[in-house]
């Protein structure tokens, strides 16, 4: 696994140009925090401007369409996102799986399109609360990994997996450190099954209500290589609190 924790902010459908000041402040501070790899995924409308304002951190897209182009009103292809300045794409976020009925197969196509366009990908997986209560969390995550992560040893370094239990996103609730470690070890095992030795080095992020005051504890869980952060990435102050905790 990469030595440096990878802390990625997902701005979701938040942000107008007024928020570029936050990206600038995060970028300035990241210069001093070289022990952490920092990235932001703003809405498509801010990718280009964020790339210009924040020159040191990674900038990515929150989604891409699987097709190269064509009659897909309102969608954005991987090549377009890359051209706007995105170096990576998040795919399979639970909000997209739920709101847009995205299947594992579609998520995989999106990941493949992003890689084909020259981007890295963060593939999100995670169980719902009912699935956890029914003892199915590991099976659900295994199926999501098998169905939505592109395979091929040469792709391993381009792929990060984010484990985000759906019930922990935006709720202020988090799994225990032990539960996170158990799931991350399970994911590691599946990645090694899928990618061989290369699977040992792939990054696995935790996401779900990560905040400055719980980040150090959650990031210390077994096999956690960083965090995917929603709400707490919207201001430089709180996002930097997480980055400092990760350093
Ligand atoms: C997310 O949406 O990826 C996320 C983890 O959100 P939050 O940090 O707000 O729970």
Q: What is the pLDDT of residues 123-133, one digit of tens each?
A: 999 999 999 99
Tens digits of residue pLDDT in 44-63: 999 999 999 999 999 999 99
Average pLDDT (70-79) is 98
What total number of domains does the chain contain?
A: 1
Q: Is the pLDDT of residue 110 over 70?
A: yes
Q: What is the pLDDT of residue 2?
A: 56
Name the closest-CA residue to atom 6, ligand 1. 230
- Atom index in ligand 1 nearest the CA of residue 162 equals 3
pLDDT at 30 over 90: no
> Which residues participate in the annotated binding site for substrate?
10-12, 170, 209, 230-231
Residue 246 located in a structural domain: no
Nearest to 227 by CA among 2, 1, 3, 8: 8
User: 29-33, 34-38, 66-70, 195-199: which range is least confident on average?
Assistant: 29-33
pLDDT at 191: 98
CA distance 23 to 42: 9
**Is 242 among the domain residues?**
no
- Percent of the chain scoring above 70 in pLDDT: 99
Q: Write out the catalytic residue numbers.
A: 93, 164
Task: Confirm whether 239 is domain-assigned.
Answer: no
Q: Is 226 in the pocket of ligand 1 (CB under 6 A)?
A: no
In a domain, 73, yes or no: yes
> By the 8 A CB rule, do 103 and 76 touch?
no
What is the DSSP secondary-structure string of 82-138? HHHT-SEEEE--HHHHHHT---HHHHHHHHHHHHHTT-EEEEEE---HHHHHTT-HH
* Angstrom distance (rounded) from CA 6 to CA 106: 26
Is a pLDDT exceeding 60 seen at residue 198? yes
Given the DSSP bridges, would you call strands 204-207 and 120-125 parallel, antiparallel or unpaired?
Answer: unpaired
Predicted local confidence at residue 3, as pLDDT: 78
Q: Rounded mean pLDDT of 9-29?
A: 97
- 9 touches ligand 1 (CB under 6 Å): no
Strand blocks (E) in the chain? 6-10, 37-41, 58-61, 88-91, 120-125, 159-163, 204-207, 226-229
- Using CA atoms, how far residue 62 sits from 44, 108, 178, 243, in Å, is 8, 15, 29, 20
Helix (H) or strand (E) holding 219: helix 215-219
- Residues of the chain with pLDDT > 90, as a percent, come to 97
Task: Note whether residue 244 is domain-resident.
Answer: no
- Residue 11 structural domain: 6-234
In this prediction, residues 171-178 reach a mean pLDDT of 96
Mean pLDDT of the 76-90 span = 98
128 in any annotated domain: yes
Closest residue by Cα to atom 3, ligand 1, is: 230
Residue 175, pLDDT above cutoff 60: yes
Query: Is the per-residue pLDDT at 245 higher than 90?
Result: yes
Residue 215 covered by a domain? yes
Tokens (6 digits) for 7: 């802390």
Kindly give the interhelix angle for 20-32 and 236-246, rounded to the nearest 10 degrees.
20
Nearest atom (ligand 1) to Cα of 231: 9
Cα–Cα distance for residue pair 228/40, rounded to 1 Å: 10
Q: What is the pLDDT of residue 33?
A: 83
77: tokens are: 């292809």
DSSP state, 67? S
**Each residue of 132-164: pLDDT tens digit?**
999 999 999 999 999 999 999 999 999 999 999
Residue 218 sits in a domain whose CATH number is 3.20.20.70
User: For residue 203, how far is its CA from the centre of ligand 1 (angstroms)?
Assistant: 18
Residue 31 inside a domain? The answer is yes
Would the CB of 230 count as within 6 Å of ligand 1? yes
């Amino acid at each position: 696994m990469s030595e440096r924790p990878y802390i990625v902010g997902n701005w979701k459908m938040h942000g107008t140009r007024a928020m570029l000041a936050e990206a600038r402040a995060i970028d300035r501070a990241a210069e001093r925090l070289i022990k952490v790899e920092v990235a932001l995924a703003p809405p498509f409308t801010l990718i280009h401007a964020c790339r210009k304002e924040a020159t040191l951190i990674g900038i990515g897209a929150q989604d891409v369409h699987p097709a190269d182009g064509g009659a897909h009103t309102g969608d954005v292809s991987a090549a377009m996102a890359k051209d706007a300045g995105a170096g990576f794409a998040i795919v399979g976020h639970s909000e997209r799986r739920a709101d847009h009925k995205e299947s594992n197969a579609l998520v995989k196509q999106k990941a493949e399109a992003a890689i084909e366009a020259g981007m890295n990908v963060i593939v999100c997986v995670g169980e719902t609360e009912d699935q956890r209560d029914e003892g199915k969390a590991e099976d659900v995550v295994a199926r999501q990994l098998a169905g939505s992560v592109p395979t091929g040893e040469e792709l391993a370094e381009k792929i990060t997996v984010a484990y985000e239990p759906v019930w922990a996103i935006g709720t202020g609730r988090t799994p225990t450190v032990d539960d996170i470690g158990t799931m991350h070890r399970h994911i590691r095992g599946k990645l090694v099954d899928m990618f061989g030795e290369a699977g040992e080095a792939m990054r696995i992020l935790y996401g779900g209500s990560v905040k400055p005051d719980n980040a150090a504890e959650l990031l210390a869980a077994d096999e956690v290589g960083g965090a995917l952060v929603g709400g707490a990435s919207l201001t430089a102050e709180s996002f930097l609190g997480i980055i400092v905790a990760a350093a």
